[in-house]
Amino acid sequence: METVIEVRNLSYTYPGGITALKNVSLDIYRGEKLVILGSNGAGKSTLIKHFNGLLKPQRGYIKVFGVDTRKASVAELSKKVGIVFQNPYHQFFSEKVWDEVAFALKNFGYSEETIKYRVTKVLRLFDLYDYADKSPFELSSGEMRRLAIASVLAYDPEVVVLDEPTVGQDRIQKEKLREYIKLLSLQNKTVILVTHDIEFVTEGFDRIVVMSNGTILGEGSPKEVLYNEELLKKANLMLPQIPEISIRINNNIILEKKPLTDDELLSLVLSILGVRK
């Protein structure tokens, strides 16, 4: 597998002495759907700010597509790595929703025809087209978050980083987000989801990295991580509902299969009972 982001022995301390990252090493691969999971203060956001050069390593290094981030500008790295940050208020520069999505496309030199096509496409995708002439600051918090995502996806970076994208989103919007993540993966894009929303990551991801207090506590497939009660407890996270129910049922077949969704658990229970779904 091709490594698109290589993190080695990364440490970072903010002015004032707060150490946010401690000797973090991680490889992220092309086409991977990766979750960086952890509670508030785990170091997740500090880590991803290194991916496009907003922060530079104090110790260790990061390479993005083979380029040391200390030797590249934020503009150069942002063409490859698009980050949607947790607080959308800090990302908006334009007076209209349409112009906000078009902003990066214009800076990267796309034609007017391409800009129109891409802006229309992502605004419709995220149910924002009817707000094209409104100010971004007139939107609800959920709509603002969708606008921030649309603004990054419009210029089609190789790596898309989503920092807490499910905050303020209802079930329908979360499912739309999940579908778009699948679509990006089919296009061989790398998707990095940074979250503490443990229920959202039970479906559709390849690997989960668990962080706490600036370090990586463990990583593995969703089934390996989300059934690891000890690991999640160390990270101040609770088991997702389906793993918790499965462990309480304490059936060998269920625990061996490790269901993560309602449908998976229901199918297993019905098969144990000899009932055809």
Taking residues 117-143, what's their average pLDDT?
92
pLDDT band at 93 (very low <50, low <70, confident <90, very high): confident
Beta bridge partners of 8: 61
pTM of the model: 0.90
pLDDT at 41 over 70: yes
Beta bridge partners of 13: 19
Top pLDDT among 141 and 47 is at 47
Two tokens, residue 260: 């993560």
CB atoms within 10 A of CB 247: 15
Q: Report the share of the chain in percent with pLDDT over 70.
A: 99
- What pLDDT, on a 0 to 100 scale, did the predictor assign at position 276? 67
- What pLDDT, on a 0 to 100 scale, did the predictor assign at position 25? 98
Ordered by start, the domain boundaries in the chain are: 3-239
CA–CA separation, 208 and 145 (whole Å):
23
- What pLDDT, on a 0 to 100 scale, did the predictor assign at position 185? 87
Question: Given the structure tokens 């603004």, which residue do they identify?
Answer: 151
- What pLDDT, on a 0 to 100 scale, did the predictor assign at position 171? 87
C-alpha distances in Å from residue 143, one per residue of 17, 97, 121: 36, 10, 16
Question: Given the structure tokens 């970072």, which residue do they identify?
Answer: 12
Two tokens, residue 206: 């390849």
pLDDT band at 19 (very low <50, low <70, confident <90, very high): very high
pLDDT band at 223 (very low <50, low <70, confident <90, very high): very high
- CA 161 from chain centre, in angstroms, equals 5
> In whole numbers, what is the pLDDT of the chain averaged over residues?
92
Taking residues 146-161, what's their average pLDDT?
91
- What pLDDT, on a 0 to 100 scale, did the predictor assign at position 277? 59
pLDDT at 120 over 90: yes
Chain segment 98-117, per-residue pLDDT in tens: 999 999 899 888 999 999 99
Taking residues 265-272, what's their average pLDDT?
88
Strands 67-68 and 59-64: antiparallel
- Residue 232 and residue 210 in contact, taking contact as beta carbons nearer than 8 Å: yes
Q: 3-239, what's its fold?
A: Rossmann fold (3.40.50)
Two tokens, residue 21: 């990252």
pLDDT at 63 over 80: yes
